[in-house]
Amino acid sequence: GDSVTQTEGPVTVSESESLIINCTYSATSIAYPNLFWYVRYPGEGLQLLLKVITAGQKGSSRGFEATYNKETTSFHLQKASVQESDSAVYYCALGTQVVGQLTFGRGTRLQVYA
Amino acid sequence: DPKIIQKPKYLVAVTGSEKILICEQYLGHNAMYWYRQSAKKPLEFMFSYSYQKLMDNQTASSRFQPQSSKKNHLDLQITALKPDDSATYFCASSQLGTGGDERLFFGHGTKLSVL
């Protein structure tokens, strides 16, 4: 079946440092799945951070970027300079052929300290 | 204010009992879903409903029954509870018919513990 593997947390970085959270996927049910990053801030529900539906394209939001690389089946999340408010749990996910069915990674907890 | 309300936030049950998890969405969406996250496992898709009709069911057990009394409600009834059912259950919704946009909106979850 489909699967997503991402950096095991927690990841701890200091403010203004750069960040990369790795995500690789295996899609058996669909050749070119849509790819997503979701985020859960403390006390809030899971929300979409960014999505990319075309291989080779880059998505960006709130200073985060991720590029859909079909050769390496990767969708790494990067940010040049993190802030304390970025502390959250980040989930990589892929879309299947079933409407509303996303396959998620286990999540990566990011802790940014001042 | 949260647009997807799940009740209760925490739930403790004994093995063999039955519980209902409540979900209401106020986003005007036409599709709703249930996901489950067990300890140290990823979020797993369970059901999808559109216009109060089941679209897809990925859970093998008939002990899990979604119930939709209104188009913005999708409750989850769990019967004959087992300790392995302990997990956080997330309700989600989306608007279908938007060109394949799979943007899901999630509730805060109900954490179920079965003793």
Q: Which residues of A touch B107 (CB under 8 A)?
A: 45
What is the average pLDDT value for chain A, to the nearest integer?
Answer: 94
Question: Could you tell me the pLDDT band of residue B101, with boundaries at 50, 70 and 90?
Answer: low
Q: Which residues of B touch A95 (CB under 8 A)?
A: 102
A8 has a pLDDT exceeding 90: yes
Taking residues B9-32, report their average pLDDT: 95
Question: Could you tell me the pLDDT band of residue A52, with boundaries at 50, 70 and 90?
Answer: very high
B104 has a pLDDT exceeding 70: yes
Give CA–CA dist B4/B98, Å, rounded: 20
Taking residues A40-52, report their average pLDDT: 92
What was the pLDDT predicted at B80? Answer: 97
Chain A closest-CA separation from residue B9 CA (Å)? 12
Could you read off the pLDDT of B64-83 as tens digits, one per residue? 999 988 889 999 999 999 99
B106/A100 CB distance under 8 A: no
Q: Which residues of B touch A10 (CB under 8 A)?
A: none
Taking residues A74-99, report their average pLDDT: 93
Chain A closest-CA separation from residue B10 CA (Å)? 14
Chain A closest-CA separation from residue B41 CA (Å)? 6
Q: Which amino acid is at A108?
A: T
Q: Which residues of A touch B105 (CB under 8 A)?
A: 45, 47-48
Task: Measure CA B100 to chain center.
Answer: 22
Neighbouring C-beta atoms of residue B81, cutoff 10 Å: 20
Of all residues in chain B, the one with the smallest CA distance to A35 is B102
B48/A91 CB distance under 8 A: no
Taking residues B16-33, report their average pLDDT: 95
Give CA–CA dist B115/B12, Å, rounded: 7
Q: What single-letter DSSP state applies at residue A12? A: E
Question: Could you tell me the pLDDT band of residue B102, with boundaries at 50, 70 and 90?
Answer: low
Could you read off the pLDDT of A65-79 as tens digits, one per residue? 999 999 999 999 999
Give CA–CA dist A55/B26, Å, rounded: 34
Question: Could you tell me the pLDDT band of residue B100, with boundaries at 50, 70 and 90?
Answer: low
Q: From the list B42, B90, B96, which residue is nearest A46 (CB)?
A: B90
What was the pLDDT predicted at B11? Answer: 96
The SS3 of residue B85 is helix
